Amino acid sequence: MKLDAKIPAGPLADKWSSYKEHAKLVNPANRKKLPVIIIGTGLSGASAAASLAEQGYPVTSFCFQDSARRAHSVAAQGGVNAAKNYQNDGDSVYRMFYDTLKGGDFRSREANVYRLAECSLNLIDQAVAQGVPFAREYGGYLSNRSFGGVQVSRTFYARGQTGQQLLLGAYQALMKQVDLKKVTLHTRHEMLDLVVVDGKAKGVIVRNLDSGEIERYAAPAVVIATGGFGKIYYLSTLAMGCNASAIWRAHKRGALMACPSWTQIHPTCLPQAGDYQSKLTLMSESLRNDGRIWVPKLKDEKREANAIPEEERDYYLERRYPSFGNLAPRDIASRAAKERIDAGFGVGKQRNAVYLDFSKVIKEQGIDKVKEKYGNLFSMYKKITADDAYAAPMKISPAAHFSMGGLWVDYELMTTIPGLFAVGEANFADHGANRLGANSLLQASVDGYFILPYTLANYLAGELKAEKITTKHPQFDLAEKEVKEQLAKLIKIKGTKTADDFHKELGKLLYDKCGLSRSAAGLKEAIAGIQVLRAAFYKELIVSGEPGEINAELEKAGRVADYLEISELMCHDALSREESCGAHFREEYQTPDGEALRNDEKFCYVSAWEWAGKDIEPVLHPEPLVFEFVKLSVRSYS
Amino acid sequence: MKIHLKIWRQKDASTKGKLVDYDLDQVDQNMSFLEMIDTLNKQLILKGDTPVEFDHDCREGICGSCGMMINGQAHGPVPGLTVCQLHMREFAANETIYVEPFRALAFPVKRDLKVDRSSFDRIIQSGGYITANTGQPQEANAQLITHEIAEAAFDSAACIGCGACVATCKNSSAALFTSAKISHLVKLPQGKQEAAKRVLKMVAQMDAEGFGHCSNTEACEAKCPQGISVLNIARMNWEHLKAAIFKD
């Protein structure tokens, strides 16, 4: 299989305009005949659904939550980047492009990343027009702050709830289209299979989570906007329902999966407190604008944080990365924390955390200013831990957060199955091996509002004369039968371990062997371990209830079944890449001072994986990354 | 610690429900309330019983999925929290805790603690938006919005749509939810164009869904996890009056 990224020719700055100028269009009268299915109503799914419906395509949208407004984009805290250069501090589309490319350790496509930066300008205008209440200066101009991995202030924010506000903008635009009957929205529905007819995506099988019924939907185009799968690590910053099922089932139907092991482990989360814990809450990266990270210089320090004098504190980020300091990118900050914790300098009861200290900024700017900037984060911290972060430093720890990997897509956001598109975190596209903070809201929005409406039209223009496939097609019968059989099989096992038990075990294994650092030996152990766990799952699982009713346990079991497969692919992916880049840190490949050692000669490609069948090793199809406009450099933040 | 639970179990909207007793040992006080229910559910599953169904997702207080009455209070005893942020340290050892679904005519029970809140979506659908199709809006800084106005709009926009305001109101009124969206949009200059139409349609939809009227007890604000102010309701009433008078 030869992968074609379909990058338009021409100068970098002209590629996207040139694409738009030459893309095929569909006449407004014909758009009514070309329905589109969109799975997921987060920022990318809702913005895509609203924008396509506004153009006149009949859209059918699905989400597993009970309202489209609850998708996990809602939880993004810190902000959204745009190269507006409102602060006159040297920002530009090119600068943002370069920061993002470098932040991703040169493992993404130049053309995609440039387009992301280019479209960022428009996104802020769009969001403001929808009524997103971004922070403003007293005179009325939009305000910005700085995020990790950059030296300009280009992050727009709405207190610590930027994701919520952007999502509500998209949700409201979507609900308007629902009211106009341009979008049919099915909440509490989960995609369980993709239907492919003659090599093209033609529909989906979904389960109504409130009735348990299996339903079929057909359309000449299917868009997957189901977000990331960091929940595979069990303890993560993700929502409980986030999952890999839609992308994994599409993968098994022929869509290649790209760099699935590239997971961002976020440096500023609340540490684990006990075995019962179900998630790790994220504290926004924006806190690193003013908070200083440190651990005691003394091993097994017994004193409280405030009792440790200044000279006995190790501000290790400021020490190791003086030019970026506490705003070093996420992968670097997380690894540095792990290094200190593993070396015995961790703090807290379980010695699994580091301090994030605000005493300096409180002294300099006053407690009121700090409250205004971070009030909701400090109160969230207090709610969960019962500790007051104004009085003593927060205790934070790294946690699984964002999937850079996902379904492989070309420049048009189309997967290797014609007619199947993937947008937002569900795809692998713009972030390379590490995503910069405040770029995920951006990518989700840009994919949905500004890119897909052009590229999907370009595909659908060719489908006008194609044979219309309905849900009566035998491929639908087949897919539905398989889905029903799998659900019945999970319930029939009647073992002694719950889906959560398996999920926790898998998560721990994956975090240890395919998390912040990886090694060939560890990954091989993980693959063997996952195979054992998967076999046990089909013998010892217990699911209560029936398939034909509300059944949260059955939903979980289906997701864990998929996790037990995609995790193995993640390990193969990490094992085959014999270099360190971004979030992918192979212990065998590091510089003498412990930094990632990239190998551009051998691994300057995207690893796209093909499903070869059950219990057969996946097949790698490398997509070479060609850098025409920038020179690859060592990613240094020191 | 040990606790006693009385949890509302109901198969579906048309079946009669009842409170069922459960005892739970070894509850860690650092567990969240939902993690406590997870623990109970695991025990029920292993015994061959049906686990308690409840809505939850982000578990960090922002998605608005979770919500239940705990000892008669929406989201439990601590103000400013959602259930997922409530921790067992708020309860005493051996305490008996009553857990029931949100009750309102417009929130029918689906099963156990799960209720149908799609009425909220239909209220937003009826006009809770600014019409700004994707395309070429004006430059974001072309229209200045003062810091104070942006912050005030945010205060209203922070609503998470959990439904605690309705569940806690003796009239099951959705006035706080509806007015928060109306206020958010009308406070901003870009939201003023559709203000009159919006308030008339949203209030009509709110009534059509079967929510009761607001009688100013302010219980909603007291139980709102985001601290949304009842002044939004006053603004909604004012906007509604204006719109109704100047309709033609």
Residue A205 banded pLDDT, cuts 50, 70, 90: very high
Tokens of A235: 């303890």
- Scanning the structure block, which residue is given the tokens 């239907």? A195
C-alpha A350: how far from chain center: 28
Chain B residues closer than 8 Å to A139 by CB: 144, 146
State how far the Cα of A372 lies from the Cα of A286, in Å rounded to an integer: 13
Window 486-525 of A, Cβ < 8 Å to B = 496, 498, 500
DSSP secondary structure, A422-437, as one string: E-GGGEE-SSTTSPPT
State how far the Cα of A529 lies from the Cα of A501, in Å rounded to an integer: 15
Q: Which residue of chain B comes nearest to A496, CA vs CA?
A: B46
Terminal-to-terminal C-alpha distance of chain A: 41
| Angle CA A596–A599–A601, to nearest 5 | 165
pLDDT at site A148: 76
DSSP A260: T
| Contact at CB, A173 and B132, closer than 8 angstroms | yes
| Contact at CB, A135 and B81, closer than 8 angstroms | no
Q: Is residue B124 pLDDT above 90, yes or no?
A: yes
State how far the Cα of A173 lies from the Cα of A204, in Å rounded to an integer: 24
Residue A147 banded pLDDT, cuts 50, 70, 90: confident
State how far the Cα of A458 lies from the Cα of A456, in Å rounded to an integer: 5
* Burial classification of residue A28, based on how many CB atoms lie within 10 Å of its CB (0-12 exposed, 13-18 middle, 19 or more buried): exposed
Query: What separation in angstroms does the CA of A524 have from each of A513, A568, A595, B2?
Result: 9, 10, 23, 43
Chain B residues closer than 8 Å to A280 by CB: none
Q: Is residue A511 pLDDT above 90, yes or no?
A: yes
C-alpha A557: how far from chain center: 22
Q: What is the pLDDT of residues A266-300, one digit of tens each?
A: 999 999 988 899 999 998 888 998 999 999 999 98
The verdict on B150 touching A (C-beta cutoff 8 Å) is yes
State how far the Cα of A618 lies from the Cα of A260, in Å rounded to an integer: 12
E strand or H helix at A124:
helix A110-130
| Contact at CB, A179 and B126, closer than 8 angstroms | yes
Window 153-192 of A, Cβ < 8 Å to B = 158-159, 161, 164-165, 168, 171-173, 175-176, 178-179, 187
Q: Which residue of chain B comes nearest to A156, CA vs CA?
A: B140
pLDDT at site A361: 95
| Contact at CB, A550 and B57, closer than 8 angstroms | no
Query: Which residue type occupies A293?
Result: I
In Å, how far is B140's CA from the nearest CA of chain A?
A: 4
Q: At what angle do helices A43-55 and A162-179 cross, to 10 degrees?
A: 30
Whether pTM > 0.95 for this model: the answer is yes
In Å, how far is B174's CA from the nearest CA of chain A?
A: 17
Residue B248 banded pLDDT, cuts 50, 70, 90: low
| Contact at CB, B140 and A449, closer than 8 angstroms | no
Question: B109, A99 in Cβ contact below 8 A?
Answer: no
State how far the Cα of B144 lies from the Cα of A577, in Å rounded to an integer: 50
Q: Of A79, A226, A161, which is closest to residue B63 (Cα–Cα)?
A: A161
Q: Is residue A515 pLDDT above 90, yes or no?
A: yes
State how far the Cα of A3 lies from the Cα of A624, in Å rounded to an integer: 9
In Å, how far is B28's CA from the nearest CA of chain A?
A: 9
* Average pLDDT of the residues in A135-148: 93
The verdict on B9 touching A (C-beta cutoff 8 Å) is no
The verdict on B248 touching A (C-beta cutoff 8 Å) is no
Least confident of A367-381, A455-469, B104-118: A367-381
The verdict on A559 touching B (C-beta cutoff 8 Å) is no
State how far the Cα of B72 lies from the Cα of B232, in Å rounded to an integer: 25
In Å, how far is B190's CA from the nearest CA of chain A?
A: 6
Chain A residues closer than 8 Å to B125 by CB: 175-176, 178-179
Q: Where are the domains of chain B?
A: 3-111, 118-133+142-246
Please state, for a pLDDT cut of 70, what percent of chain B lies above it: 100
The complex's ipTM works out to 0.98
In Å, how far is B2's CA from the nearest CA of chain A?
A: 16
| Contact at CB, A179 and B157, closer than 8 angstroms | no
* Average pLDDT of the residues in A617-622: 98
| Contact at CB, B60 and A75, closer than 8 angstroms | yes
- Scanning the structure block, which residue is given the tokens 């924390």? A337
Chain A residues closer than 8 Å to B48 by CB: 544
Strand partners, A142: A136
The verdict on A47 touching B (C-beta cutoff 8 Å) is yes
- Positive or negative, the CA dihedral B114, B119, B123, B125 is positive
Query: What separation in angstroms does the CA of A590 have from each of A85, A86, A326, A531, B72?
Result: 36, 39, 22, 29, 58
Domain B3-111 superfamily per CATH: Beta-grasp domain (3.10.20.30)
* Average pLDDT of the residues in A216-228: 98
Residue A491 banded pLDDT, cuts 50, 70, 90: very high
SS (H, E, C) A486-508: HHHHHHHCCCCECHHHHHHHHHH
Question: A480, A205 in Cβ contact below 8 A?
Answer: yes
Mean pLDDT across chain B, nearest whole number?
97
| Contact at CB, B59 and A54, closer than 8 angstroms | no
In Å, how far is B246's CA from the nearest CA of chain A?
A: 25
H and E: helices and strands count for chain A: 18, 20
| Contact at CB, B188 and A133, closer than 8 angstroms | yes
E strand or H helix at B211:
none
The verdict on A378 touching B (C-beta cutoff 8 Å) is no
**Quick check: helix, strand or coil at residue A415?**
coil
pLDDT at site B136: 78
Give the A:B interface size as CB pairs under 8 Å: 212
Query: Which residue type occupies A134?
Result: F
Query: Which residue type occupies A578?
Result: E
The verdict on B130 touching A (C-beta cutoff 8 Å) is yes
Q: Which residue of chain A comes nearest to B134, CA vs CA?
A: A51
Q: Give the best residue of B9, B24, B57 to mutate against chain A (max A CB count within 10 A).
A: B57
Q: Of A68, A148, A69, which is closest to residue A102 (Cα–Cα)?
A: A148
State how far the Cα of A166 lies from the Cα of A450, in Å rounded to an integer: 15
Instruction: Give catalytic residue positions of A.
Output: 330
The verdict on B197 touching A (C-beta cutoff 8 Å) is no
* Average pLDDT of the residues in A91-109: 97
Chain B residues closer than 8 Å to A281 by CB: 59-60
The verdict on A130 touching B (C-beta cutoff 8 Å) is yes
Q: Give the best residue of A57, A85, A179, A208 to mutate against chain B (max B CB count within 10 A).
A: A179
| Contact at CB, A172 and B158, closer than 8 angstroms | no
Q: Is residue A626 pLDDT above 80, yes or no?
A: yes
| Contact at CB, B133 and A54, closer than 8 angstroms | yes
State how far the Cα of A214 lies from the Cα of A223, in Å rounded to an integer: 20
Chain A residues closer than 8 Å to B178 by CB: none
In Å, how far is A349's CA from the nearest CA of chain B?
A: 13
The verdict on B178 touching A (C-beta cutoff 8 Å) is no
In Å, how far is A179's CA from the nearest CA of chain B?
A: 6
Q: Is residue A86 pLDDT above 70, yes or no?
A: yes
Q: Which of A47, A75, A173 sits opposite B62 (nearest CB)?
A: A75
Contacts of residue B235, Cβ cutoff 8 Å, sequence gap at least 6: B179, B182, B183, B186
Just give the CATH number of B118-133+142-246: 1.10.1060.10
Q: Of A614, A475, A441, which is closest to residue A538 (Cα–Cα)?
A: A614
Q: Is residue B247 pLDDT above 80, yes or no?
A: no
Report, in this order, helix, strand and coil percent for chain A, each rounded to 5: 40, 15, 40
Chain B residues closer than 8 Å to A384 by CB: 32, 85, 87
Q: Which of A131, A136, A142 sits opposite B191 (nearest CB)?
A: A131
| Contact at CB, B147 and A140, closer than 8 angstroms | yes
Chain B residues closer than 8 Å to A142 by CB: 140-141
Q: Is residue A329 pLDDT above 90, yes or no?
A: no
Query: Which residue type occupies A228?
Result: G
* φ/ψ bin of A159: left (φ > 0), alpha (ψ from -120 to 50), beta (otherwise): left
| Contact at CB, A138 and B131, closer than 8 angstroms | no
* Average pLDDT of the residues in A436-465: 97
Q: What is the pLDDT of residues A564-599, one digit of tens each?
A: 999 999 999 999 999 999 999 999 999 988 889 999
* Average pLDDT of the residues in A467-495: 98
